[in-house]
Amino acid sequence: MARVYVSSVINSRSDRVWQRVRDFNGLPSWHPGIAESRIENGEPSDKIGCVRDFRLRNGDRIREKLLGLSDFDLFCTYSILESPMGVENYVATLRLTPITDGDRTFAEWTAEFDCPPEREAELVSNIGGGVFQGGFDALKRQFGG
Amino acid sequence: MIRLVRSTIIDAPTDEVWALLRDFNGHDQWHPAVGKSAIERGQSSDKVGCVRHFFLRNGAELREQLLTLSDLEQSFSYCLLDTPVPLFNYVAHVRLAPVTDGNRTFWDWRCSFSTRKGEEAEMARMVGEDIYDAGFAAIRNRLAASAGLEGRA
């Protein structure tokens, strides 16, 4: 089982950051790697079990299922149903925690998945350094640091 | 039931912060409010279930029990057994997490407790400011001081 852990500090209150990231269909509005997204079967994007079908800027298409969403604990958990990445049993969680000292947000993005051993380092680097850190860098820019 | 959360960012890797925090009997070495502290029955301070018996600098005598300790999660929990102030069912959790894009530490310190009617605000202020915020500042200063010493060496 490969694991990815990326975390960052975003210079805004966690409820404001959460407003930005809670929409399971909203990746294109804040993540620079995502071109377009839709929720299948016309379901609301906060219905647990809904599926987002989205396209990366490089053309890759990914389908992910919403497994958990909490407006109280500020986390979102999802799995990959279909992707060209070659991962199995992929489950990821994006979680926000308030930093009470300064009205900032501690953001953590984790993933676990199975893959062939020879591809693990590359996948961990692409997912952690590319997708997750890329998202946090964008949020930091959008929230001014 | 009152729930209290305090959290901060410390400008040092989690391993350095954890090295100071994981010793359940080590708070007399770094927390400005804590005087003498000892683990009862000669037990090791990383034995889950051990009890620390300590005095605050104001003379108050307290006993707290270690409920969980994890080197993997860099977290621990403890509860108050005896205290002269009206803190009932007090359970606290400390958790460290790395800020990976900067090699810093996120430190979350939270608790729940009940108290006598009318004393909620004062108890929350005392725990939040005198214990948690003061603890954050003490660890921050201590790590800054040791980094300064290394810088001069």
Residue A94: per-residue pLDDT:
98
| Cβ contacts of A79 within 8 Å, gap of 6 or more | A64, A65, A67, A89, A90, A91, A92
Chain A, chain B: beta-carbon pairs less than 8 Å apart: 51
Does residue B152 surpass a pLDDT of 70? no
Torsion sign across C-alpha atoms B126, B130, B26, B84: negative
Q: Is B15 helix (H, G, I), strand (E, B) or coil?
A: helix
Chain A residues with CB under 8 Å of a chain B CB are 5-9, 97-102, 104, 106, 108, 133, 136-137
pTM: 0.92
* B127, B119 Cβ separation under 8 angstroms: no
Query: Structural domain boundaries of chain A?
Result: 2-142
Cα separation, B146 vs B73, in Å, equals 25
Does residue B150 surpass a pLDDT of 80? no
Q: Count CA atoms within 13 Å of residue A74 on its CB side.
A: 18
Residues of the domain holding B117: 2-152
Task: Give the residue from B136, B119, B109, B44 showing the smallest Cα distance to B85.
Answer: B119
Cα separation, B97 vs B58, in Å, equals 32
User: Average pLDDT of B103-110?
Assistant: 97
Would you call A101 and B100 a contact, using CB atoms and an 8 Å cutoff?
no
Would you call A101 and B106 a contact, using CB atoms and an 8 Å cutoff?
no
The number of folded domains in chain B is 1
Look at domain A2-142 and name its CATH class: alpha beta
pLDDT in tens, B132-142: 999 999 999 99
Predicted-complex ipTM score = 0.89
| Residue A45 dihedral angles phi and psi, to the nearest 5° | -80, -5
Task: Give the residue from A13, A10, A98 showing the smallest Cα distance to B108.
Answer: A98
Name the pairing type of β-strands A104-114 and B34-39: unpaired
Assign residue B72 the CATH number of its domain.
3.30.530.20
Q: From the first residue on, what is the mean pLDDT of each consecutive set of 10 residues in chain A (145 residues)?
A: 97 97 97 97 97 96 98 97 97 98 96 97 96 98 87
User: Average pLDDT of B60-85?
Assistant: 97
Give the Cβ contact number of residue A139 at 10 Å: 21
Cα separation, A81 vs A79, in Å, equals 6
Residue B151: per-residue pLDDT:
62
- From chain B, pick out residues whose CB is under 8 angstroms from the CB of A102: 8-9
